[in-house]
Chains A and B, each alone.
Chain A
Amino acid sequence: MRAVLKRVTHLVLVLWLVSLATFLLLELVPGDPATAVLGTSGTPDQYAQVRAQLGLDLPLHERYLSWLGGALQGDFGESLTPPHQDVSAALAARLPVTFQIAACGLLLALVISVPTAVWAAHRQGRIFDRWSSSGVFAVMSLPTFLIGIFLIQGFVFHPQAMQTAALLVAVGVATGAGWTAQRRAARGDSPWSLVLVAVLASVLVLLLIVAWPTFPRQGFSRLGADGGLAENLRHIALPVLTVALGELALFTRVLRSEMIQTLDTGFVEAARARGLPTHRILLGEALRPASFSLVTVAGLSLGSLMGGTLIVEVLFNLPGMGRLLVEAIESNDYVTVQAGVLVLAAIYVLLNAAVDLLYRILDPRIRHAEQ
């Protein structure tokens, strides 16, 4: 109980420091919200008047305290620059966009990296491992904005080329899997997992031929809008892929090395000795203990992505948190920036705490160590 209390105090202190730091930082940034209010048509007197109206001529600590007082009651106030709207409303409109991009990107990264890492660990040193490791290494060396630029070039401007490439890959996978399945069957092993892969790849090929969506260059369609889920997915596909490619290198590397370690441990050897099939050993026995670090890494990634999708938002012109904050900084709207940073920091620390908790619950090693 005392530990929990200590933890909560710590979180509150962290958030308070963050809000103080934001306030001081913005105080140093030169600029004047009044210019954003009046635009080009104001006279110098009008600017002074607007500054007074916005309360900008009050002393520093008074402004901070009045902001803090409001924030403690859950009232973030109204943005200083037009459009004058409740900051809470502005954040509520932007946060889901960023969250969707970050969460979907993370999910896609996991969907790609978990099987890749598991299989690479299983076939360590063999051709799949070498190729996937090199690929991961290459992706790791590309900054997000370049990945985005290249994806846009490919998917938006040369869709046929991408379609053909995807088709070739799918056909290649299907034939490869089919061929290996045949060889396995001849050896008397079970070919079904590979047959499944071949069938899936063939279905993918068919899907690609029938329906290849046109991806928009930029923009966003909300889930509640008329287009519904389909439009939404079409708009977020490329941003999500960009985020996923940025994250998956780390995930794959972490899981692969943990997995290799786990595969060397006694209980996996024992499972092998019992004659369990490969997929049971990999997924049933080894994956769970090997995935604790991945849980940590993925949780931390989500936390930092919530405040770090700015480049993707700029590239694809998405109405997310990053752009809201940057525009607010540009027009010196400290009320919006304060609230935004506080919310992002809160999400970050809460996710961190959650990951920590999860880790403690899941990992028997830590549980045992503490007992």
Chain B
Amino acid sequence: MQSSEATEARQPARSGAARSRAGRGRLEWRTLRLWLAFAWLVVIIGVAVLADVLPFAEARNPGKTLYEPALATPDLASGHPLGTDRHGLDLLGGLAYGARVSLTVGIGATALGCLIGMLIGLTAGFVRGRLDAVVGLLTDSMLAFPPLILLIGAVAVMRPSVLVVTCSLALLTVPSYVRLARAHTLTLVPREFVLQARALGATSSRIVFKELLPNVVWPMLSYSIVVVAAMIVSEASLSYLGLSVQRPNPTWGNMIAAGQDSFQQYPHLVLVPAVAMFLTVLSINAVGEAVRSRELRNAR
């Protein structure tokens, strides 16, 4: 997954001639789409941050919902606008707390992976030699290791929690960040400003942090937007397999897993978290796409 994304990130997007061929109406739709994506992201982030303050019905402690209706169908007029699950837990509240987990893991894992990967990649690309070879060997080994086995193992060693899942997913993103950062560094090292700094007697660490880092950060960040979306999907998949945060603490993935067997009778158990996740990932992808095409335009 990571490697293919990295490959895609290296792909040049459409050329200028192609862009001018796009119609005017298309541009407006693109803008509208982008704004809608932003709006959804603002809502979902807001809800995730404010979940404790907002007046949701109980969504996490089934001990408090013994007398709530179980498996209530969505009804906007009731106290449970999106319905309840088997244990009487509110699905709207579940969405909010699930968003918190998804976003924490998605952003946390990406940030951590990006930071570690970038530093290693920068150093390896700058120092070269034996260190570079060792780093190359390690990243290749990490990429060859089946990611699910690593995740299952990590979760089995330490009990599944947001922190464990974030760290293990971060570990999985490290190799592609290392490669990306190293590749960028290699193109920068022979450039004039680096040579100049070297000629002026700057120390290696100064060159890495003052000269190279600022130039490597931006491409990393734009790639990171897509990675956040991928991490949210990965977290949901882990939750779905029962390898992330455990019920009754809601995540989008574990809500879907718990509801899938009764899809026929109670489709809302699956559809509510599924739609939320789909819209979130779609929005992040849309923003990522916009950022990338803007970047390409600037580059030209």
Contact = CB atoms under 8 A, between A and B. Distances in A.
A307 interface: yes
B241 A157 contact: no
B149 A261 contact: no
B3 A307 contact: no
A143 B3 contact: no
Interface string B153-169: 11011000000000000
Given A149-B256, A149-B270, A254-B8, 20 more contacts: A14-B140, A14-B144, A15-B144, A17-B137, A29-B156, A141-B229, A141-B278, A141-B285, A143-B237, A143-B281, A145-B240, A146-B278, A157-B264, A257-B13, A260-B15, A261-B12, A325-B149, A326-B152, A329-B149, A329-B152
Interface stretch (A162-170, A203-211, A297-305): A297-305
A76 B205 CA distance: 47
Contact of A143 (B22, B138, B277): B277
Contacts of B147: 304, 307-308
Interface string A113-128: 0000000000011000
Contacts of B286: 137
A16 to B, nearest CB: 9
Contacts of B22: 124-125
A264 interface: yes
B7 interface: yes
A22 B154 CA distance: 11
10 contacts: A14-B141, A25-B149, A25-B154, A145-B237, A149-B260, A149-B263, A250-B8, A254-B8, A301-B4, A304-B147
A175 interface: no
A22 B145 CA distance: 9
A36 to B, nearest CB: 15
Given A30-B156, A261-B12, A310 B277 contact: no
A137 B285 contact: yes
B150 interface: yes
Q: Report, nearest first, the 8 A-B pairs whose CB atoms are least far apart.
A: A307-B146, A17-B141, A141-B282, A141-B281, A125-B22, A345-B144, A25-B153, A29-B156
Contacts of B21: 124-125
Contact of B140 (A10, A125, A144, A325): A10
Interface string A247-260: 00010011001101
A339 interface: no
B157 A30 contact: yes
B26 interface: yes
Interface in B214-270: 229, 233, 236-237, 240-241, 253, 256, 260, 263-264, 270
B143 interface: yes
Contacts of A272: none
B14 interface: yes
Interface residues of A, number: 58
B150 A25 contact: yes
A26 B152 CA distance: 10
B7 A254 contact: yes
A12 B1 CA distance: 23
A28 B3 CA distance: 27
B78 interface: no
A26 B154 CA distance: 9
B190 interface: no
Interface string A293-327: 10011001100100110110010000000100110
Given A14-B137, A304-B1, A257 B12 contact: yes
Contacts of B150: 25
A124 B233 CA distance: 30
A25 B154 CA distance: 8
A183 B140 CA distance: 55
Contacts of B11: 253-254, 257-258, 293
Contact of B153 (A29, A144, A307): A29
A146 B8 contact: no
Interface residues of B, number: 53
B55 interface: no
Interface string B40-58: 0000000000000000000
A153 B15 contact: no
Given A15-B144, A254-B11, A337-B149, A311 B241 contact: yes
B144 A125 contact: no
Contacts of A149: 256, 260, 263, 270, 274
Nearest to B14: A260
A142 interface: yes
Contacts of B264: 157
B200 interface: no
Contacts of A329: 149, 152-153, 156
B149 A307 contact: yes
B105 to A, nearest CB: 14
B285 A130 contact: no
Interface in A319-360: 322, 325-326, 329, 337, 341, 344-345, 348-349
B148 interface: yes
A142 B4 CA distance: 17
A13 interface: yes
Contact of B256 (A138, A145, A260, A337): A145
Nearest to B279: A141
A216 to B, nearest CB: 17
B18 A308 contact: no
A25 B155 CA distance: 11
B237 A311 contact: yes
Contacts of A307: 146-149
